[in-house]
Each structure stands twice: as structure tokens, then as C-alpha cells.
Amino acid sequence: MDSRLSPNIPAQIAQLRPKLEQRARRFGPDSEDLVQETMLRLCAHLSEDRDIRDLEAYAMTTLRNLTRSRWRRQVETEELEDHMSITETDASDLLAIKETLAAIDALSENHASLLRLVRDGIESPQEIAMLTGLPLGTVNSRLARARARLRDLTDA
């Protein structure tokens, strides 16, 4: 504990532990880790001389938020089966892609070069501006005009 904490605060945090443990058990098997992390955050928050009006409510909210954060980080995975590993591309999709790429090549070089960067996975106008050395406003306006022209050429 930080020496700046009021002598009463560590006792209040210690009294919260059973309530935190009881609540955390509802959230899953790593309840002890959640309780410890919650208590650490409480101590850190209080050691920074921040005011907490209702320590128990703050602790329960912290516990809930930590739990939700962990749930969001968990990624559900599914085992791949043979029929899932290869997806046949629809012929109409291939034709549409080919038509779109040809339409990009038909654009002026100023517009086509920016759309090629987008095609290659650089979607952020800021990143495109950095790569090309163009001002951000120029990149945004050229991309808008290029996309509009591309829609006209592909009838999309």
C-alpha cells in the first residue's frame, strides 16, 4: 500500500474483498485474478489522491468493467473442416473484379494511383497522404472524384 493512503482506506478495501470475490465467482473461473486486479486498481486510483465517493460501488463497477474487457478479448474459434477451407469464387464476382480493375486503369493516373493504394490495403487517407506526399485535403478530394468516376465506369 502507498504510504499516502489514509489508514482507513486499506481497511475499507480489505472489507470489500469478500463481496468482490462473491460477485467475481459469477463471472467465471478466473475470479481470483479479477478480484486482485480490481483491488490493485482501487489502490492505484486512491494513491493518486483521487476522490471516490462510494468505494464499494466503484469497486463493483471496476470488477464488472474488467470482466467485460476480458470477455471482449476472448475470440471464439471454430475448428475448420475440409468443406470450410476452400471457397469457390463465383464467376460473376471474378468478372466484376476484373471489370473494376480495368476501370481503375482507365482513370487518370492521379486517381488510379490512389485507388491502387486502397486496393493494396491502405485505406486511411492520412496514410495515403504520408505515402504520396500529398496534402490530406487533396487525397480526400481525389479519392472522392476517383470513386465517383469509378462508379460511372462500372455502372455500380
On the question of pLDDT at 112 being above 90, the answer is yes
24-44 pLDDT, tens digit each: 888 777 788 888 888 888 888
On the question of pLDDT at 6 being above 60, the answer is no
How do the domains of the chain map onto residue ranges?
A: 8-73, 90-154
Architecture of domain 90-154: Orthogonal Bundle (1.10)
Select, from the ranges 3-12, 51-60, 131-140, 147-156, the one with the highest average predicted confidence (pLDDT).
131-140
Q: What is the pLDDT of residue 89?
A: 66
Q: What is the pLDDT of residue 41?
A: 86
d(Cα 2, Cα 16) in Å, to the nearest integer? Answer: 18
